[in-house]
Structure 1
Amino acid sequence: MTPTQAAARPSAAAPRFSIIVPAFRVEAYLRDCLDSVLGQSFEDFELIAVNDASPDACGEIMDEYAAADPRVVAVQLAENVGLGRARNAGMARANGTYLLFLDSDDTMLPGALAAIDQRLAETADPELLVFDYSRTHWDGRISPNAKAKVLADSPSGAVGLADNPALLDLLQVAWNKAYRHDFVKRWGFEYPHGYYEDTPWTYPVLIAAESIAVLPRVCVHYRQRRQGSILHSTSRKHFDVFDQYELVFAFLDAHPEFDRWRGPLFDRMITHFRVIENSPGRLPAEAREEFRAKFLRYEETYRPAGHVSPPAVRLSASRRAVAKLPAPLRGAARRAYRTARRVKAAPRKLRKPLRSAVLAGYYRAQRMLPVQNDTAVFAAYWNTDYACNPAAVHQKLLELAPKVKTTWVLKPGSRNTPPPGTRVVHPGSFGFWRAMARGKYFVNNVNFPTRVVKRPGQIHVQTHHGTPLKRMGVDLVEFPVAQGDLDMKTLMKRVDRWDYSVSSNSFTTAVWDRAYPAEYESLDYGYPRNDVLVRAGEEDRRAAREKLGLDADSTVVLYAPTHRDYQGVPRPLLDLEQLAARLGEGFTVLSRAHYFHLDGPADSGPKGGRGVIDVSRHPSVEELFLAADCLLTDYSSLMFDYALLDRPVVIYANDWEVYRATRGTYFDIHVESPGHVVETESDLLDVFLSGRWSDDDSAKLRTEFRRRFCEFDDGFAAERVVRRVFLNQENEPPVTLPTERPGPRTHG
Structure 2
Amino acid sequence: MSSLISDPTGRKRMNKTLDTILKIAYSYAYRMLLTPLRLLPIQKRRVLFVSFRGKQYSCNPRAISEALLKKAKGSLEIAWAFHEAEKFRFLEKDGVKVLSDSSFEFLKYALTSRVIVTNTYYKPHLPRRKGQFFIRTWHGGGAYKRVGKAQNLPFWERMFVKMQQEGANVYLSSSRAFTDMTIREAFGYTGEILECGMPRNDRLIKGEYQEAKKQVFEYLNLSKNTRLALYAPTYRDNMDAYGQYPDFARMEKALKTRFGGEWKIAYRGHHVYYKNNVQAECLNATDYMDMQDLLLSADVLITDYSSSIWDMSLMMKPVFLFCPDLNAYRAERDFFTDIHSWPFPLSENDEELEKSILSFDEEKMKKAYENHHKTLGSFESGNASDIVADRINSECR
AA paired with 1:529?
R
The alignment status of 1:474 with 2:149, answered yes or no, reads: yes
- Quote how far apart the aligned CAs of 1:541 are: 7.3
Partner of 1:419: 91
SS in 2 for 1:378: strand
Find the partner of 1:595 among 271, 280, 288: 271
Q: Structure 1 residues 353, 617: closer, same or farther in 2, change over 3 A?
A: closer
AA paired with 1:526?
G
The alignment status of 1:650 with 2:320, answered yes or no, reads: yes
Matches within 5 A, 1:192-207: none
Contact 1:651/1:676 (<8 A) preserved = yes
SS in 2 for 1:408: strand
Aligned residues: CA RMSD:
2.9
**For 2:243 and 2:195, how far apart are their aligned partners in 1?**
37
Show structure 1 runs of 5+ residues with no match: 1-351, 478-482, 730-748
Contact 1:503/1:525 (<8 A) preserved = yes
- Quote how far apart the aligned CAs of 1:670 are: 1.3
The alignment status of 1:447 with 2:121, answered yes or no, reads: yes
**For 1:569 and 1:630, how far apart are their aligned partners in 2?**
27
Contact 2:64/2:388 (<8 A) preserved = yes
Say which is worse superposed, 715-724 or 705-714, in terms of deviation.
Answer: 705-714
**For 2:90 and 2:156, how far apart are their aligned partners in 1?**
30
Contact 2:51/2:119 (<8 A) preserved = yes
SS in 2 for 1:626: helix
**For 2:128 and 2:216, how far apart are their aligned partners in 1?**
44
Q: Structure 1 residues 711, 454: closer, same or farther in 2, change over 3 A?
A: same
Partner of 1:687: 356
Q: Structure 1 residues 616, 709: closer, same or farther in 2, change over 3 A?
A: farther
AA paired with 1:597?
Y
Partner of 1:529: 200
Q: Structure 1 residues 571, 553: closer, same or farther in 2, change over 3 A?
A: same
Higher share in helix: 2
**For 1:719 and 1:598, how far apart are their aligned partners in 2?**
31
Matches within 5 A, 1:426-505: 426-467=100-141, 468-477=143-152, 483=153, 487-505=157-175
**For 1:409 and 1:537, how far apart are their aligned partners in 2?**
27
- Quote how far apart the aligned CAs of 1:641 are: 0.7
Contact 2:135/2:168 (<8 A) preserved = yes
Residues 198-217 of structure 1: CA deviation (Å, up to 9, x unaligned): xxxxxxxxxxxxxxxxxxxx
**For 1:355 and 1:525, how far apart are their aligned partners in 2?**
33
Residues 211-231 of structure 1: CA deviation (Å, up to 9, x unaligned): xxxxxxxxxxxxxxxxxxxxx
Contact 2:91/2:98 (<8 A) preserved = no
- Quote how far apart the aligned CAs of 1:526 are: 0.7
The alignment status of 1:561 with 2:233, answered yes or no, reads: yes
Find the partner of 1:724 among 388, 391, 395: 391
Larger Rg: 1
Contact 1:386/1:418 (<8 A) preserved = no
SS in 2 for 1:595: coil
Contact 1:580/1:588 (<8 A) preserved = yes
Q: TM-score with structure 1 length normalisation?
A: 0.45
The alignment status of 1:377 with 2:48, answered yes or no, reads: yes
- Quote how far apart the aligned CAs of 1:578 are: 4.9
Residues 14-62 of structure 1: CA deviation (Å, up to 9, x unaligned): xxxxxxxxxxxxxxxxxxxxxxxxxxxxxxxxxxxxxxxxxxxxxxxxx
- Quote how far apart the aligned CAs of 1:595 are: 1.9
- Quote how far apart the aligned CAs of 1:439 are: 1.3
- Quote how far apart the aligned CAs of 1:686 are: 2.6
Partner of 1:410: 82
Residues 124-172 of structure 1: CA deviation (Å, up to 9, x unaligned): xxxxxxxxxxxxxxxxxxxxxxxxxxxxxxxxxxxxxxxxxxxxxxxxx
- Quote how far apart the aligned CAs of 1:519 are: 3.7
Contact 2:59/2:292 (<8 A) preserved = no
Partner of 1:660: 330
Q: Structure 1 residues 492, 353: closer, same or farther in 2, change over 3 A?
A: closer
Residues 654-710 of structure 1: CA deviation (Å, up to 9, x unaligned): 22221111012101121122x32222201212333x2x2343322322222233457
- Quote how far apart the aligned CAs of 1:383 are: 1.6
The count of corresponding residues between Structure 1 and Structure 2 is 363
Matches within 5 A, 1:12-411: 361=33, 363-401=34-72, 402-411=74-83
Show structure 2 runs of 5+ residues with no match: 1-23
AA paired with 1:419?
L
Contact 2:27/2:125 (<8 A) preserved = no
Residues 52-94 of structure 1: CA deviation (Å, up to 9, x unaligned): xxxxxxxxxxxxxxxxxxxxxxxxxxxxxxxxxxxxxxxxxxx
Residues 417-464 of structure 1: CA deviation (Å, up to 9, x unaligned): 662132222234311221122111111011222232222211011000
**For 1:634 and 1:694, how far apart are their aligned partners in 2?**
20
Partner of 2:380: 713
Residues 521-548 of structure 1: CA deviation (Å, up to 9, x unaligned): 0010110111111111574576456534
**For 1:537 and 1:459, how far apart are their aligned partners in 2?**
31
AA paired with 1:458?
Q
AA paired with 1:377?
L
**For 2:107 and 2:85, how far apart are their aligned partners in 1?**
21
Contact 1:648/1:699 (<8 A) preserved = no
Q: Structure 1 residues 360, 431: closer, same or farther in 2, change over 3 A?
A: farther
- Quote how far apart the aligned CAs of 1:357 are: 9.1
Q: Structure 1 residues 360, 643: closer, same or farther in 2, change over 3 A?
A: same
Partner of 1:280: none
Contact 1:408/1:418 (<8 A) preserved = no
**For 2:239 and 2:212, how far apart are their aligned partners in 1?**
36
Say which is worse superposed, 377-386 or 709-718, in terms of deviation.
Answer: 709-718
AA paired with 2:389?
V
AA paired with 1:671?
S
Partner of 1:320: none
**For 2:154 and 2:354, how far apart are their aligned partners in 1?**
35
Q: Structure 1 residues 418, 538: closer, same or farther in 2, change over 3 A?
A: closer
Contact 1:386/1:414 (<8 A) preserved = no
- Quote how far apart the aligned CAs of 1:721 are: 0.8
Partner of 2:347: 678
SS in 2 for 1:440: strand
**For 1:396 and 1:457, how far apart are their aligned partners in 2?**
24
Q: Structure 1 residues 376, 579: closer, same or farther in 2, change over 3 A?
A: same
AA paired with 1:662?
E
Find the partner of 1:576 among 248, 271, 274: 248
SS in 2 for 1:645: coil
Residues 613-662 of structure 1: CA deviation (Å, up to 9, x unaligned): 22111122222112211111111010101111111111112222211110
Contact 2:100/2:106 (<8 A) preserved = yes
- Quote how far apart the aligned CAs of 1:572 are: 3.9
